[in-house]
Amino acid sequence: MSAVPLSPAATQEEAPVSLWRDAWYRLKRNKLAVFGLAVVAILAFTAIFGPYLTPYDYLSQDLQSRNAVPSLQHLFGTDDLGRDVFSRVVFGTRTAFLVAVIVTVIAVLIGTILGAIAGFFGNPFDRVIMWLTDMTMSVPNLLLVVVINASLKSPITKWMEAQYLVTLNPFYRQTIWVDFMLVFGSMALISWPPYARLVRAQVLSIRSRPYITAAQALGLSNWIIMKRYVVPNALGPLIVSVSAGLGTAMVLESAFSFLGVGVNPPTPSWGNMISDGLRVWQHYPHLLAAPAAVLGLASVAFSFLGDGLNDALNPRGAK
């Protein structure tokens, strides 16, 4: 009996299963997630290159074109100082992304380290870290940010002024760095507890798995096990939380700037632009509508992307 020849498809080895490739495939099928990813990519491009492509400098003033309505010359109109609103919104995108990314990175690093230690080593580390987490979450966010800004901004500004008088270095006159430093520090201080709780819960589930027991039996140290096996396997839910955290950080920065405890003028921020537009919105609604619409779009895009990542990285969601 002659042998039946195998088809070319049967002779080919099956492609290895990849969690990330399967997750990307599921993400592409989610239209809302793709929309969110596209908007986030556009906002990221705008944050990096937008200020170099705008028709006007965000600080340039044209007093003869004050409070101009949107037109081909000024797409979003101008404010009460004749500054181009479109250019300021674009530069505000850089401010929002810079704050969101740096704050989220700092918060994730703190939360991941503390959560992994609490979940893997247990008491007394778990008790102390969770007590610190609960205490931080019990303090109202706005109150903590106001206290930090009110207590630290004036001394730091005075120190920078004294350094300028001694060194005549113009860097010490750029107080915008004080605003950014206080915003980064205060927002990271209130943002890390959710990440710590999430990582702790993941580690508590992972540390009892057979491959962790096998690694311990091989004599690997706890720190190597955490770095190679525990933390990487807890990244799925953390990535989802980070995508949502970026949008939350943008909204928080805008809210603090709106209340005067974030990034202050003349540096454009969506929050301080909304604050300025809210005072004159009945006469010049474009001053409020432009930054508010961009902030709302960014928030919705991050929400869609976070939901899509949650479905894509959840193995139970695979059909």
Give the percent of the chain with pLDDT over 90: 2
User: pLDDT at residue 152 above 60?
Assistant: yes
Q: Which of 54-68, 86-100, 225-239, 244-258 has the lowest mean pLDDT?
A: 225-239
Cα atoms in the 13 Å half-sphere on the side-chain side of 287: 21
Return d(Cα 318, Cα 81) in angstroms, integer.
55
Q: Are the beta carbons of 132 and 266 closer than 8 angstroms?
A: no
Residues 215-255 have pLDDT tens digits of: 778 777 777 877 777 777 777 778 778 877 888 888 888 88
Tell me the mean pLDDT in the region 10-21. Answer: 53
Q: Which has the closest alpha carbon to 149: 109, 189, 95?
A: 189
Q: If pLDDT is split at 50, 70 and 90, which confidence band does 11 have?
A: very low
- What is 40-50+60-317's CATH number, 3.20.20.70, 1.10.3720.10, 2.60.120.10, 3.40.50.1820? 1.10.3720.10
Q: Would you tell me how many other CB atoms lie within 10 Å of the CB of residue 32?
A: 14
Q: Are 154 and 117 in contact (CB under 8 A)?
A: no
- What number is the average pLDDT over the span 8-23? 55
Q: What single-letter amino acid sits at 20?
A: W
Domain ranges (residues) in the chain:
40-50+60-317
Beta-carbon contacts of residue 160 (< 8 Å; ≥ 6 apart)? 172, 173, 175, 178
The closest alpha carbon to 305, from 23, 21, 48, 32, belongs to 32
Cβ atoms of residues 120 and 220 within 8 Å: no
